[in-house]
Structure 1
Amino acid sequence: MNHSNSSHLLFKGAFLLTLSGLIGKVLSAGYRIPLQNIAGDFGFYVYQQIYPILGIALVLSLYGFPAAVSKLVAEIGERGQSLSLSSFYFPALSWLFGICGLIFMIGYTQAGELADVMGDKRLTPSLQAAFTVFLLLPIPSLLRGVYQGQGNMQPTAISQVAEQLVRVLLIIGATIYVVSESQIYHIGIGAAIASLGGIIASIIVFIFIIRKDPPWTKGPVDYSSLSFVKTIVFYGIFICLNYMLLLLIQMTDALTLVPSLIEAGVAPVEAKVLKGIFDRGQPLIQLGTVLASSLALALIPSITKKKMHAHPKQVDGYIFGSIKFSLILACGASAGLIVLMPFINELFFQNEKGTAVLRVLMLVILFSSLAVTFASILQGLGFVTHTAIIVVFAILLKWGLNALLVPHLLLNGAAIASICSAAAVVVCQCLLLRRYFSFKKWFRLPWLSITWALAGMIVVLLVLIGIRSLLGMEGGNRFSLLVYTLSLTAAGAVTYLIMLIRLGALHRRELEAVPYGSSLVRFLPKGLK
């Protein structure tokens, strides 16, 4: 196979994996909206208390462990050796089961203490059920890593989508059942069972794939100098931490928010409902971050330390483009959600409770999108450990700020703490990246154009909202609210995009690279056409 064909297959595989990951993330964020509608804010609180554990298991299974295993497989492939059942699969699987088994044992036995920290002892069975998910993780994690290491992304992509789809369907079904039985605290157990069902579905996918062409040999092979434990434990977990910022922020809130609200004088039941209302913002943040960073992440595979030395100007362009697109999309998503939050809150969650604090929380999208983009760039340049340490620092900061702010500012304090911790990640990443992306280059970003485009979008949205109010068109059913909200979203997005183009924030070559970009070129100022 020649170099151009192998490069084509590599980029095709990377695109397939990115697309399946995007579908999975949208499903993962989207299903929590009907879940809240079915279970209410209290039921949503119960689910969100265990969601970070299930999310961490999912990230380990989809990104961390497969990345580590694929690194091992790539090293073996470079030596011209094959994968042996006895010499590769059994040791790798043993280490994965050992790590996941340890997490399960600690989590299962300490679930009661964890529930005490959360301020709700009745969460213990749900927490125990959530930790059982780790017992099945090693099998799909290993197989995903094997195929990724061989450059075959299709099995991983199919298994990801199958797992997420089955998981979402089962969790909605489980929620309907436990609500009908008035066993609201069992939502967590249902969620854990749904996650196990999703993992089993991914294993079944791999069984069908393996039956056609087993990716192993039976004889022993000598893999001298190959370190399973170092690669799986350190590389896998450090890679994972960079995908876990939002999850770990949610975990911190799960552990500290309700006790801090109770400390501030809020009644225990009311504190749990308030936590459920606050958690309405999490799927919106996740969706906003995914959409705002997806276009930028498409450029990331072109950024590596090796390419930086070989083609510095080209890689510099990729870095600048990634940051620029992420900034533009994140600013638009944050501003749009802040303005439209009353309608989105009522449309998705059936009332406008918590609108004010959710508006504040939407600023997290700006910093989390940039953090994801920066982390991916830094990983490509070899800063895996550094970026993981930054995330740990940010979570400690979030914990401290929650303890300091929530007793005085309640939910607003938690929102401010989340914004500050995400912003701290971006600042630290900028300092780490300054060798490749100096502070001077930040001034080349189209700040003025973005500001004017945001102002134009906000004015258009406020005018349209004001016209509806003057015409007395408030109220109506949920379908009419959906149509109205989608119309506002479209109007805001179109205004923002056209103003960005007219103000020169986007150039001809950038527009031509996106779908229907040739139609947008005509909006460019004369000097840029």
Structure 2
Amino acid sequence: MILLAAGLVNRLLGFVPRIVLPRMIGAEGVGLIQLVYPFMIVLLTVIAGGLPLAVAKLVAEADSRDDPAAMKKTVRGAMTLAVSAGLIASAACLGLAGWISSEVMTDSRVHAAFLCMIPVLPLVAVSSVWRGYFQGKQNMIPTAFSSTTETLVRIVLSLLFAALLVPYGLEAAAAGSVLGMVAGELAGLLVLWQQVSSDRAAGRKSRPASVERQASASDRGVFRSLLGIAIPVTGSRLIGSLSYLLESILTARSLAAAGLTAAAATAQYGALQGMVIPVLLLPGALTYSLAVSLVPSLSEAAARQDWATIHKRLHQSMRLAVVTGAPFIVLMGLLAEPLCQLIYGDDSMAGMLRWMAPIAIFLYMQAPLQAALQALDRPGTALFNTFAGAAVKLALIVQLATQPQLGILGAVIAIGVNMVLVTLLHWISVARLTGFRLNPFDFLKVMTAMVVMSAVALWIWNGRFLPADGLNLAASSLAAVVVYLILLMAMRMIDGHDAARIPLIGRLFR
């Protein structure tokens, strides 16, 4: 819930630049940023993709044994690996920046933005290790505080730098926005550093010096353990990141093959990845929080062979993912035009949002299932499932987006098929591994509530009872969500026990 609160705040705040930037630099400028972003994600995945999870798992195990020396060696070893990889990648990018911008990317105007992106690599490398440390100790507050600070600084400086550089052209404005991301990462890292310093000081006061010098695993053993966990996880995430990069390249080239100019292709891809997908991912703040907190919880239960707890945690996470994602799906599907008009001042991408909304439920379920596979020592299974989905997606983009009658809609269909396929493969894998099953009547109850809330939302929106479209949209959304929650409580999908577990306000339901 701590990560959920931070995630929701960060995603809502993150919509500020999503709303302002398209109005400032247009879909084409957003497209330039989106062309750089997938390449950065690939590099960050190589540098630190699986390290946070590996650190969290080893720290959680050492903490359960009360072995502070092992925790210290784990963090030190992971930091050595992450910083070395970050510096090597930064040097390589700096040396190859011209070639990457002109040959790999589909628009040479990304060169300045690409150069501004390079300092992010070592910064994220260090912060990922510290976040893994706190995750392993099941202390989510430093990560939440750090991510919120990073978001605030990134928003302010991205918009400021972009506004200052707009007179110099879209290329300069996009570079300024990326530079704001670098500043945000630095601010988040400084917050984590302060939290780590406080944690170390508290640890020294609570433990005698003799305990600090306990013998534990050798440095070589620590590296072996870290890499043994990190490499398969990194491989799984790298497939996703590479498919994201190839998706950006293939989509732009396929749209060009369908008859669009490079500028138009960049604009359409910018609308899809920079405007539609962020709206679709907003409910994913919960599933991300569930995935992060599931890893240490399921790891401990698996070590005890406690299958009852594993089933309970899986059921809780999947039910929350479905219940919280469903109302967003209804509102995004039915009210796509007014939503896009309100957020971006342009509803031209509403058709893409309406196509993708019903499929988003699979995306919200995917993160907890993947976290379960990783926590239960099946990262290779998650790797294969991700690879299969990525291969199908890329093949479909080439097949569909090159058709003039489909265009960008072909890429939308391909991404949707990927979401469904990977989630189903993860589900089958988890079910075979644990025997976990979800009650089909839970889905029926949620679907019933969705149908009723759809009718309420459309009735209020079509009635236009208020003078402004924004007010009508807010009223229809709020009324529909209230009806949805009442129906779920009536059908006992949400009960007093669930509400009582919510921090701060939970005491009201006890």
Instruction: Decide: shared fold, TM above 0.5.
Output: yes
Q: 1:426 aligns with which of 423, 437, 441?
A: 423
Q: CA deviation at 1:368?
A: 1.1
**Residue in structure 1 matched with residue 371 of structure 2 by the alignment:** 376
**Residue in structure 2 matched with residue 42 of structure 1 by the alignment:** 28
Q: CA deviation at 1:71?
A: 4.3
**Residue in structure 1 matched with residue 414 of structure 2 by the alignment:** 417
Structure 1 pair 120–322 and aligned structure 2 pair: CA distance change class (3 A):
same
What is the CA–CA distance in structure 1 between the aligned matches of 2:499 and 2:407, rounded to whole Å?
44
**Residue in structure 2 matched with residue 465 of structure 1 by the alignment:** 461
Q: 2:69 aligns with which of 71, 76, 82?
A: 82
What is the CA–CA distance in structure 2 between the aligned matches of 1:302 and 1:66, rounded to whole Å?
15
Is 2:486 the counterpart of 1:498?
yes
Provide the identity percentage.
Answer: 21
What is the CA–CA distance in structure 2 between the aligned matches of 1:208 and 1:460, rounded to whole Å?
49
Structure 1 pair 168–236 and aligned structure 2 pair: CA distance change class (3 A):
farther
What is the CA–CA distance in structure 2 between the aligned matches of 1:253 and 1:394, rounded to whole Å?
12
Equivalent position SS for 1:403: helix
The 8 Å contact of residues 54 and 195 in structure 1, kept in 2 or not, is answered as: no
Q: CA deviation at 1:258?
A: 1.4
Q: CA deviation at 1:420?
A: 0.6
Q: 1:283 aligns with which of 262, 278, 282?
A: 278
Q: 2:263 aligns with which of 269, 281, 303?
A: 269
Q: CA deviation at 1:415?
A: 0.8
What is the CA–CA distance in structure 1 between the aligned matches of 2:446 and 2:472, rounded to whole Å?
26
The 8 Å contact of residues 146 and 188 in structure 2, kept in 1 or not, is answered as: yes
Structure 1 pair 159–464 and aligned structure 2 pair: CA distance change class (3 A):
closer
Structure 1 pair 58–24 and aligned structure 2 pair: CA distance change class (3 A):
farther
Aligned partner letter, 2:80: S
What is the CA–CA distance in structure 2 between the aligned matches of 1:498 and 1:159, rounded to whole Å?
35
**Residue in structure 2 matched with residue 93 of structure 1 by the alignment:** 79
**Residue in structure 2 matched with residue 527 of structure 1 by the alignment:** none
Write out aligned runs for 1:277-316 (5 A): 277-279=271-273, 280-291=275-286, 294=289, 302-304=297-299, 306-307=301-302, 310-316=305-311
Equivalent position SS for 1:138: helix
Structure 1 pair 117–335 and aligned structure 2 pair: CA distance change class (3 A):
farther
Specify every segment of 5 or more residues in structure 1 that has no aligned partner in the other structure, as ranges: 1-14, 522-529
Q: How many residues align?
A: 496
The 8 Å contact of residues 297 and 376 in structure 1, kept in 2 or not, is answered as: yes
What is the CA–CA distance in structure 2 between the aligned matches of 1:62 and 1:484, rounded to whole Å?
45
Q: CA deviation at 1:405?
A: 1.0
Structure 1 pair 136–499 and aligned structure 2 pair: CA distance change class (3 A):
closer
The 8 Å contact of residues 250 and 397 in structure 2, kept in 1 or not, is answered as: yes
Structure 1 pair 322–205 and aligned structure 2 pair: CA distance change class (3 A):
closer
The 8 Å contact of residues 397 and 414 in structure 2, kept in 1 or not, is answered as: yes
Equivalent position SS for 2:321: helix
Structure 1 pair 434–351 and aligned structure 2 pair: CA distance change class (3 A):
same
Write out aligned runs for 1:176-195 (5 A): 176-179=163-166, 181-195=167-181
**Residue in structure 2 matched with residue 135 of structure 1 by the alignment:** 122
**Residue in structure 2 matched with residue 66 of structure 1 by the alignment:** 52
Structure 1 pair 102–400 and aligned structure 2 pair: CA distance change class (3 A):
farther
Structure 1 pair 358–75 and aligned structure 2 pair: CA distance change class (3 A):
closer
**Residue in structure 1 matched with residue 188 of structure 2 by the alignment:** 202
Deviation string, structure 1 residues 207-261 (Cα, Å, up to 9, x no partner): 5456665579999977427435444445335446767888666434322211111
369-378 vs 60-69, greater mean Cα deviation: 60-69
Structure 1 pair 138–434 and aligned structure 2 pair: CA distance change class (3 A):
closer
505-514 vs 382-391, greater mean Cα deviation: 505-514
The 8 Å contact of residues 292 and 333 in structure 1, kept in 2 or not, is answered as: no
Structure 1 pair 98–211 and aligned structure 2 pair: CA distance change class (3 A):
closer
What is the CA–CA distance in structure 2 between the aligned matches of 1:320 and 1:129, rounded to whole Å?
43
**Residue in structure 2 matched with residue 3 of structure 1 by the alignment:** none
Write out aligned runs for 1:6-405 (5 A): 16=2, 19-28=5-14, 31-55=17-41, 64-73=50-59, 78=65, 80=67, 82=69, 92-111=78-97, 112-113=99-100, 115-149=102-136, 153-179=140-166, 181-209=167-195, 213=200, 223-224=217-218, 226-233=220-227, 235-236=229-230, 238-239=232-233, 250-279=244-273, 280-291=275-286, 294=289, 302-304=297-299, 306-307=301-302, 310-405=305-400
The 8 Å contact of residues 118 and 256 in structure 1, kept in 2 or not, is answered as: no
**Residue in structure 2 matched with residue 5 of structure 1 by the alignment:** none
182-191 vs 15-24, greater mean Cα deviation: 15-24
Structure 1 pair 19–510 and aligned structure 2 pair: CA distance change class (3 A):
closer
Deviation string, structure 1 residues 320-357 (Cα, Å, up to 9, x no partner): 23222212222322122111111110001102112112
What is the CA–CA distance in structure 2 between the aligned matches of 1:76 and 1:205, rounded to whole Å?
25
Deviation string, structure 1 residues 13-67 (Cα, Å, up to 9, x no partner): xx54554455444444553222222221111111211223445667789974333
What is the CA–CA distance in structure 1 between the aligned matches of 2:193 and 2:494, rounded to whole Å?
47
The 8 Å contact of residues 57 and 133 in structure 1, kept in 2 or not, is answered as: no
Specify every segment of 5 or more residues in structure 2 that has no aligned partner in the other structure, as ranges: none
164-173 vs 308-317, greater mean Cα deviation: 308-317
Equivalent position SS for 2:477: helix
Aligned partner letter, 2:153: V
What is the CA–CA distance in structure 2 between the aligned matches of 1:375 and 1:75, rounded to whole Å?
20
The 8 Å contact of residues 406 and 413 in structure 1, kept in 2 or not, is answered as: yes
The 8 Å contact of residues 293 and 330 in structure 1, kept in 2 or not, is answered as: no
Deviation string, structure 1 residues 120-153 (Cα, Å, up to 9, x no partner): 1222332233233213333333444445555655
Aligned partner letter, 1:425: V
Equivalent position SS for 1:227: helix
What is the CA–CA distance in structure 2 between the aligned matches of 1:493 and 1:240, rounded to whole Å?
38
Give me the CA root mean square deviation.
Answer: 3.8
What is the CA–CA distance in structure 1 between the aligned matches of 2:80 and 2:438, rounded to whole Å?
47
**Residue in structure 2 matched with residue 483 of structure 1 by the alignment:** 471
492-501 vs 144-153, greater mean Cα deviation: 144-153
Structure 1 pair 340–298 and aligned structure 2 pair: CA distance change class (3 A):
farther
What is the CA–CA distance in structure 2 between the aligned matches of 1:495 and 1:266, rounded to whole Å?
44
Equivalent position SS for 2:412: helix
The 8 Å contact of residues 238 and 388 in structure 1, kept in 2 or not, is answered as: yes
